[in-house]
Amino acid sequence: MFVRDYHIHTKLSPCADRIFDVEKVIQIQQERGMKEIGITDHDFSYGYKAKRIEAARNAIKQCDASIPVHFGVESHMLEYRSTSLNIQLASYFDYVLMAPNHYHLRGVAPPSDFKNPKKVAIHEIYMFEAAVACPITDAVVHPFVLAPDVFRFLTKGELSAFGQEVMRNIDQKRLIYQLDLVSQRGIGIEISPKFIRYNQRHLIEFYQLCLEREVKLLIGSDAHNAKQLEDLSVLEPILDELGVQEEHLWQPKVWQW
């Protein structure tokens, strides 16, 4: 069993369950036998205020957890060289998860045509490159995972087929070059139950390619409620199929001063 979950939201994120607070997350994860976790609310949850970020870190400290609880954040790319979180505020967190494709949020550059798989592919790789090049990125979350609330004109089955078509249009050489950079920089690539929930199993080939290029995988539930914490278990057979061992997994760097 994989016992680390580095992508968890709490009620601080406006999109999460209102009763899902940090005490509850820690309690559930400890009971489930998790060995290490990371709280990663959206950067905008703090109104981009250092005081609110510090208060959230203190709230975690006060929980007196028996397992390490990291204090991370989920940020997102707006454009090339432009992120939602600035570098100074990024330093308040243990690690930064970078989302390349939060198209549902204001200010994020969208593909020029959501209905054209080739154009979506060109934009997805461009945003992925932007996230990899960004100095505050510690891990890239849900790359190439197409969210149903964005591609809402598609049914579940259509979304799956559309996603496959998008991946077929990604330039492999360009992708491999990026994955080699990811590996050199020690950036993690997230694998989360979301890609199964969104019916995009074809992405297994992408995760396989990550492993071939010696990229570390970050396991994250991206939970927004208590039930989604459990969803991590649906990844187990996939991680087995991919032959993922502990040494293939990304972990936050612990800085010693």
Beta bridge partner(s), residue 149 = none
Closer residue to Zn ion (CB): 26 or 131: 131
Rounded least distance, CB 36 to Zn ion, Å: 18
Closer residue to Zn ion (CB): 72 or 213: 72
Contacts 24+ apart (CB under 8 A), 164-172: 164/202, 165/117, 166/117, 166/120, 166/121, 166/124, 167/121, 167/202, 167/203, 167/205, 167/206, 168/117, 168/121, 169/117, 169/118, 169/120, 169/121, 169/122, 170/121, 170/124, 170/125, 170/144, 171/125
How many whole angstroms separate alpha carbon 50 and alpha carbon 100? Answer: 24
Radius of gyration for the chain, computed over Cα atoms and rounded to the nearest angstrom: 17
DSSP state of 249: B
Closer residue to Zn ion (CB): 43 or 222: 222
Rounded least distance, CB 198 to Zn ion, Å: 12
Closer residue to Zn ion (CB): 117 or 220: 220
Rounded least distance, CB 150 to Zn ion, Å: 11
Closer residue to Zn ion (CB): 138 or 222: 222
Check the CA dihedral 239-244-250-256 and report its sign. positive
* Residues found near Zn ion in the complex (CB under 5 A): 74, 99, 222
Beta bridge partner(s), residue 190 = 218
Closer residue to Zn ion (CB): 74 or 94: 74
Q: Is 204 exposed, middle or buried (0-12, 13-18, 19+ CB in 10 A)?
A: middle
Rounded least distance, CB 102 to Zn ion, Å: 6
Closer residue to Zn ion (CB): 150 or 204: 150
Residue 160 host element (H or E): helix 156-168
For tokens 């890609």, the residue is 195
Rounded least distance, CB 42 to Zn ion, Å: 7
Rounded least distance, CB 63 to Zn ion, Å: 20
Rounded least distance, CB 66 to Zn ion, Å: 25
**CA-angle at 75, arms to 72 and 78, nearest 5°:** 170
How many whole angstroms separate alpha carbon 84 and alpha carbon 95? Answer: 15
